[in-house]
Amino acid sequence: MASSVRYKARETRSLLQFKSFLVLCPVIVASCLLAVSVAAKPDNLKVITDGNWEEILTGEWMIEFFAPWCPACQQLQPVWNEFADWGDDLGVNIAKVDVTEQPGLSGRFIITALPTIYHCKDGVFRRYQGARTKDDFLSFIDEKKWQSIEPISSWFGPSSFLMNMMSALFKLSMFIRQCHNYLTEQVGIPVWGSYVIFALATLFSGLALGLVLVFIADFVFPSRRFSSSAYYHKKYAVEQARLLQQLEEEQEADGEEEEEDEDEYGGRAEKWQRRSTTEAAVRKRAVGGGGEEEEDT
């Protein structure tokens, strides 16, 4: 009797376990399928970094620049993931860039607002400024609405020399920020101490750069002071010729002044001579006139 009771209890327990398995089996299968689909999504949504950004120069791309802390970016992310699932059907690559991890790309594309979306077709970039829904993204690609948007000038393109310098500047700023955080948080240096260190580093690096530029300038355009002895002979001859010419000019000027003085002196002498002659004639006439009057009387 007791054995039959135990047998029935065992059968009941087995039946309950089987029913539980049947109930949990669909849940397990659905979870596996969901995990597979979630794992497959990152393949559709590409991640662009400083190392592979040149891939976007070929083909058609839609690129989102975002930051994890940005609320607007967080709202757009589910929509962008759904849009990425249509990338293969539309023949367009969907990508994203985390500007907090890729400061060089942030400077290369001059990202001033988040999120920012760019369309790229064979290296020609256009900034998307439409509505941010999946249907709008699909129609933007399918109907080729990007053709009505003026492309970015080649001067400000991400592969231009200017944007390369801007990218390097952003990378340098991020490196300085990381150094500042390391000095203040890990080493324990106060904030003002970190500023002093960076100020001194900037001063000495500027001096070193100035010296390097001076050396390069002297090497490319050497000073004439270090030329051969022929240079000094030539310089001496030119100086002597200049001094001789100056001396001749002074002598000519002195001769002209002497001639002017002689002319002026001669003119004065002639004038005095004429005046004395005139006065003598007047006196003679006066004397002659007096004699004639005496004879008449």
Q: Which residues are catalytic?
A: 70, 73
Using DSSP's 3-state secondary structure scheme, residue 127 falls into: strand
Q: Other C-beta atoms within 10 Å of 176: how many?
A: 14
Dist CA 249 CA 244 (whole Å): 9
Asked if 169 contacts 103 with a C-beta cutoff of 8 angstroms, the reply is no
Using DSSP's 3-state secondary structure scheme, residue 166 falls into: helix
Torsion of CA 178, 181, 184, 186, to 10 degrees: -90
Dist CA 161 CA 167 (whole Å): 10
Asked if 85 contacts 41 with a C-beta cutoff of 8 angstroms, the reply is yes
> What is Dmax (Cα atoms) for the chain?
214
Structure tokens at 294: 């005496």
Single-letter code of the amino acid located at 288: G
Dist CA 250 CA 153 (whole Å): 65
Q: Which residues pair with 121 in a beta bridge?
A: 60, 124
Q: Is 279 exposed, middle or buried (0-12, 13-18, 19+ CB in 10 A)?
A: exposed
Q: Which residues pair with 64 in a beta bridge?
A: 96, 117
Alpha-carbon 130 to chain mean position: 29
Structure tokens at 41: 């999504």
Structure tokens at 287: 């004397």
